[in-house]
Structure 1
Amino acid sequence: MIPHYETDGAGPPLVLVNSLGTSMEMWRPQVTPLGARFRLVRFDARGHGGTPFEPGPGGSLTVDDLAGDIADLLDHLGIERAHVAGVSLGGAVALRLAATRPERIDRLVLVSTAAKIGTPEGWRERAEQVRAEGCASISGAAMGRWFSPAFGEDQPETVAAFRRRFDACDAEGYAACCEALGAMDQRADLARIAAPALIVAGTADEVTTPADAAFLDEHLPDSRTLLAEGAKHLLTAERPDWFNRAVIGFLGEGQGLSELHGPREGHGRSEGRRPERGPGPRGGRS
């Protein structure tokens, strides 16, 4: 299916894939800086934002179905290949697209994600709760996983806006995406993903941890990792300037990455060194 989408900017195409419980609005801090260099394609995943929920051909929803939506959207826009950046669920979908349709991918930016996230039981329980009580019943816990306490104190209006959008999320769409994540395990597929990948993780993320990022870096053939010191799950909102510079540096053949943290500590597995770390916060599960 073709999801609800918007395009911004001009240049090489860059598809931005939202996380569970958000919408394309999560990418608002990226539109101006990235749109100055890329043709941005933002869209709402099924059951999120302006895209209605629709089950896949098998009657449920899978990560393959969500990856197919990106391919359909690229076809609709006449784009043969694109860079793809995704957060959490969006990163998992980007991985799936790279594994199943490698000809559509130039480079990957994998943010706060993993090849396997959580447990089937945990996702099933969350889906059941949301179907019974709505997304608002879990939004407080979600915000605690997404944002550090320091960011919540510094930017309460940003956290409140994310919570409003989370509360309004379609319950069936959210639950179906939970079940898709519960059924997902892409660990065996990583070795065949040839696209260069930038892995970005927050050191305080308890959903997709730095260990998950290290696993991706170890098993993807061409990857590097950047860690945002003290950031939690939605680091695109918590550290937007740092993240934007990282994306521009990586998609520009790696130029500028060293400026994020001073002297380099390494580029992930290919150089056998530690991941690079970004700055800590100002002033002090998905």
Structure 2
Amino acid sequence: MNHTIMNRQHKTLSVQVEGPENAPVIIFSNSLGTDKGMWDPQAEYFKQHYRVIRYDTRGHGKSDVMHGTTLQQLGEDVLDMMDALNISRAHFCGISMGGLTGLWLGIYYPERFSSITVANTAAKIGTQDAWLARADAVQSTGLESLVKTTHSRWFSANFDYQRNLLAQQVIQSLANTPAHGYANACRALALADLREKISSITVPTLIIAGSLDPVTTVTDAEFIHQQIKDSQLFLIEASHLSNIEQPEIFTREIKRFVESIH
């Protein structure tokens, strides 16, 4: 079922809810330039036994473009969504930008989460200058040039993305992302730096890293693993969108981790 939820800024978030109403809840958060459709393989599996919540991050998909985005606001959108759906506690899984959102939630709202899975992410993604330059470029010229080269960042040479329907849909979702929404997210990432704070996370944490990921590297994942006590690190032979490149392995590992929490 699709929902339109109002956040604390009185803007709308597009949310999809599937699975048994009284089952444990798992929330999936998309990466920069994608939408909730990127989680199709995981939703198809988990909705059998979990209440699966997927949403379009602000400025992406069918969610509103919102002026002035910060990492805190990305996290607060999740909390607003949970409150609107009467969800007191959930498992959380985010990839890339969604993973960074998960780390923020683990730092500031641990009581709301049974576990967090952070995939293909870092406590600090990229550099401030690079993100601001990308934001300005997208704002002025659009996303066309990024769309043409995105497959080289999102997928490895081992993966035949051209023959994978979901991969093609996800690349199209980048083409459909509002330039202003994408640029706002870039500016949020430019200022987001949790390297000094993640050691405070006590929520059970799984870190998934793509061994072929040029964007958020294994070294980035190992840093998170070293900082968060009792966290688990799992490597997948994939590039940046590991849940699409290796959906069975990705889903199986989340299943193993989440079931170990119960």
**TM-score by shorter chain over 0.5:** yes
Query: In the alignment, is residue 88 of structure 1 matched against residue 100 of structure 2?
Result: no
What's the counterpart of residue 266 of structure 1?
none
Question: Identity rate of aligned residues, in percent?
Answer: 36
Question: Partners in 2 of 1:175 and 1:154 — Cα distance?
Answer: 27
Residue matched to 1:31:
43
Contact 1:152-1:159 within 8 A present in 2 as well: no
Instruction: Report which structure shows greater RCO (CA 8 Å, sep ≥6).
Output: 2
SS where residue 245 of structure 1 aligns? helix
CA distance in 2, matches of 1:79, 1:71: 9
What residue ranges of structure 1 are gaps of 5+ in the alignment? 256-286
Number of residue pairs aligned between Structure 1 and Structure 2: 250
1:142 corresponding residue in structure 2: 150
- 5+ unaligned residues in a row in structure 2: which ranges? 1-6
Letter of the 2:32 partner, please give it.
Answer: L
1:49 aligns with 2:54: no
1:94 CA displacement:
0.9
**When the two structures are superposed, what TM-score results if normalisation uses the length of structure 2?**
0.92
Contact 1:13–1:82, Cα closer than 8 Å, also in 2: yes
Paired amino acid for 2:257 = F
What amino acid does structure 1 have at the position aligned with 2:39? W
Cα shift readout 1:79-135 (whole Å, capped 9, x = no counterpart): 111100000000001111111111111101110001000000100111111111111
Deviations 1:196-237 (A, max 9, x none): 1110011010100000000000001220111012x1000100
Distance 1:153 1:162 in 2: 10
Q: Match for 1:50: what amino acid? A: K
- Return the TM-score normalized by structure 1: 0.84
Alpha carbon RMSD of aligned pairs, Å?
Answer: 1.4
Shift of 1:138: 0.8
Structure 1 contact 7–41 (Cα < 8 Å) conserved: yes
1:40 matches 2:48: no
Structure 2 counterpart of 1:6 = 16
CA distance in 2, matches of 1:72, 1:86: 17
Give the Å deviation of 1:3. 1.3
Q: In the alignment, what sits opposite 1:282?
A: none
Are positions 1:151 and 2:135 aligned together? no
Q: How many Å separate the matches in 2 of 1:88 and 1:103?
A: 23
Query: 1:154 Cα deviation (Å)?
Result: 6.7
2:246 aligned residue: 239
User: How has the CA–CA distance of structure 1 residues 171 and 27 changed in structure 2, closer, same or farther, with 3 Å as cutoff?
Assistant: same
Offset of 1:156 from its aligned partner? Answer: 4.6
Within 2, Cα distance between the matches of 1:161 and 1:25? 8
Q: Report what 2:34 is aligned to.
A: 22
SS at match of 1:252: helix
